[in-house]
Chain A
Amino acid sequence: MNNIGKAVRIEGKIISREDVYVDGQVEGTIEVMESKVTIGPNGRVKAGIHAREVVIIGAVQGDVVASEKVDIRKDAQLEGNISTARISIEDGAVFKGSIDIRKPEPVKPAAAPAPVAQPPVAPAQAFILNSPPAAPAPPISVSPGPAPKR
């Protein structure tokens, strides 16, 4: 779990493979495609959120896209459009925007990863949380040619 405390303010793009808990301020984008984002009670987020699951307890201004579920708690304030497969809403939440319930896509067997060209991201704008350290490049091996016939 990556925790952004209530004294923290981030402007830019947050990318994580693990769950993210935001109790501070974020302005930009949050991408946690395979995990869960929780906007805590002190969280103030002006950002588009893409995640597997999104839980909102604090305030969000921006569009929310969740592949599985959006959970809006009673004190949440959300202004933006939601696109998700399932949604849970507690009474008392304040909301303005649209809700698009999409049927979940059928699970496909994992395919071999294809190389994807990643656009360069300015280091001052992107926050990659808990990513594994980059592996050193493998040494280049040169195989010897066939042994000469005698």
Chain B
Amino acid sequence: MPQRDGGVPAAPGRSQPKVAAPSIRHSRGLEQFFLNIRDVVGLSILDMAGLNQENVNVLSALGHKLYASDLVRSIDDTFGYDLAEQNNASRLEYFLQANFNYLPDTFDGVILWDALQFMTPAVLAATVDRLHMIMRPGGYLLAYFSAQERLSEVPSHTFRFVDDKSILVTERGLRAPGQVFNNRNLEKTFARFDSVKFFLTRENLREVIVRR
């Protein structure tokens, strides 16, 4: 078990809610994701939760090559905590170069966790375009979104694999979502992809599996 949160520190000036204790929960989205990567070896998987021992262990035990970076940290490092800064075109270009500078068709799987929900429409659209380019056809993408559409701030989490069906979820504070995410605009966001599948959890999370 992890000893402490290795994620991004809480943003300065943000409200500090009572942070829920880490919890292990079943993830149908993760289960679906692993169904597609566990019977072959040597796949390239991009995990955007940052580096942690648990995720490395699970993915390398399956014989896959892991690529890792921390997308939420990169959002904060590039744009700061003001969502308006995400409209800065040169910062957006830097952000894309820093996180998605890979050859086309590199990845068989991408795990984004909850990072996409903190992107404004411009950053999200550019990111999804880049993901479409760097993923191989038939590859799968896993992303989580808060299902509480009317909240001005939603919990941000760190995620670690416990096994191929469950995750350890640790809350790391509240932050403003980049936009409202419901099934309709998620389908629109991933319109270029082959298919989009949703799972709504008891924890008010919308788990999304997207096939390239």
The chain A residues found within 8 Å of chain B, CB to CB, are 72, 74, 87-101
Taking a contact as CB atoms closer than 8 A, the residue among B4, B65, B73 that contacts A91 in the complex is B4
- With A89-B56, A91-B3, A91-B6 as contacts: A99 and B66 at CB distance below 8 Å: yes
Task: Collect the chain B residues with CB atoms within 8 Å of residue A96's CB.
Answer: 68-70, 98
Residue from A87, A95, A96 whose CB has the most chain B CB atoms within 10 Å: A96
Shortest CB distance A63–B (Å) = 13
Shortest CB distance A103–B (Å) = 10
- With A72-B51, A99-B56, A101-B60 as contacts: A93 and B68 at CB distance below 8 Å: no
Within the assembled complex, what's the spacing in Å between the Cα atoms of A93 and B73?
A: 12
Q: Which residues of B130-175 have CB atoms within 8 Å of chain A's CB atoms? A: none
Within the assembled complex, what's the spacing in Å between the Cα atoms of A83 and B87?
A: 38
Within the assembled complex, what's the spacing in Å between the Cα atoms of A70 and B185?
A: 43
Contacts A91-B2, A101-B60 supplied; 11 other A-B pairs, CB < 8 Å: A72-B51, A87-B60, A89-B51, A92-B4, A93-B51, A95-B69, A96-B68, A97-B68, A99-B67, A99-B68, A101-B56
Task: Establish whether residues B70 and A94, one from each chain, have CB atoms under 8 Å apart when the complex forms.
Answer: yes
The chain B residues found within 8 Å of chain A, CB to CB, are 2-6, 44, 50-53, 56, 60, 65-70, 73, 98
Task: Collect the chain A residues with CB atoms within 8 Å of residue B5's CB.
Answer: 91
Grouping DSSP codes into helix (H, G, I), strand (E, B) and loop, the B interface class, with mixed when no group exceeds half, is mixed
Shortest CB distance B95–A (Å) = 13
Shortest CB distance B111–A (Å) = 14
Give me 29 A-to-B residue pairs in the complex whose CB atoms sit less than 8 angstroms apart, sorted by A's number: A72-B51, A74-B6, A87-B56, A87-B60, A88-B53, A89-B52, A89-B53, A89-B56, A91-B2, A91-B4, A92-B4, A92-B6, A93-B6, A94-B51, A94-B70, A94-B73, A95-B50, A95-B68, A96-B68, A96-B69, A96-B98, A97-B67, A97-B68, A98-B65, A98-B67, A99-B56, A99-B68, A100-B65, A101-B60
Please give me the residue from chain A that is nearest to B44 by CB atom. Answer: A98
Please give me the residue from chain B that is nearest to A78 by CB atom. Answer: B51
Task: Collect the chain A residues with CB atoms within 8 Å of residue B70's CB.
Answer: 94-96
Task: Collect the chain B residues with CB atoms within 8 Å of residue A91's CB.
Answer: 2-6, 52
Within the assembled complex, what's the spacing in Å between the Cα atoms of A146 and B98?
A: 77
Please give me the residue from chain B that is nearest to A89 by CB atom. Answer: B53
Please give me the residue from chain B that is nearest to A76 by CB atom. Answer: B51
Within the assembled complex, what's the spacing in Å between the Cα atoms of A65 and B2?
A: 26
Task: Establish whether residues B51 and A95, one from each chain, have CB atoms under 8 Å apart when the complex forms.
Answer: yes
Task: Collect the chain B residues with CB atoms within 8 Å of residue A98's CB.
Answer: 44, 65-68
Please give me the residue from chain B that is nearest to A72 by CB atom. Answer: B51
Task: Collect the chain B residues with CB atoms within 8 Å of residue A97's CB.
Answer: 67-69
Task: Collect the chain A residues with CB atoms within 8 Å of residue B68's CB.
Answer: 95-99
- 4 tightest A-B CB contacts, nearest first: A91-B6, A95-B51, A101-B60, A96-B69
Task: Collect the chain B residues with CB atoms within 8 Å of residue A90's CB.
Answer: 6, 53
Task: Establish whether residues A99 and B6, one from each chain, have CB atoms under 8 Å apart when the complex forms.
Answer: no
Within the assembled complex, what's the spacing in Å between the Cα atoms of A92 and B50?
A: 9
Shortest CB distance A54–B (Å) = 15
Please give me the residue from chain A that is nearest to B70 by CB atom. Answer: A94
Task: Collect the chain A residues with CB atoms within 8 Å of residue B4's CB.
Answer: 91-92
Shortest CB distance B96–A (Å) = 14
Task: Collect the chain B residues with CB atoms within 8 Å of residue A92's CB.
Answer: 4, 6
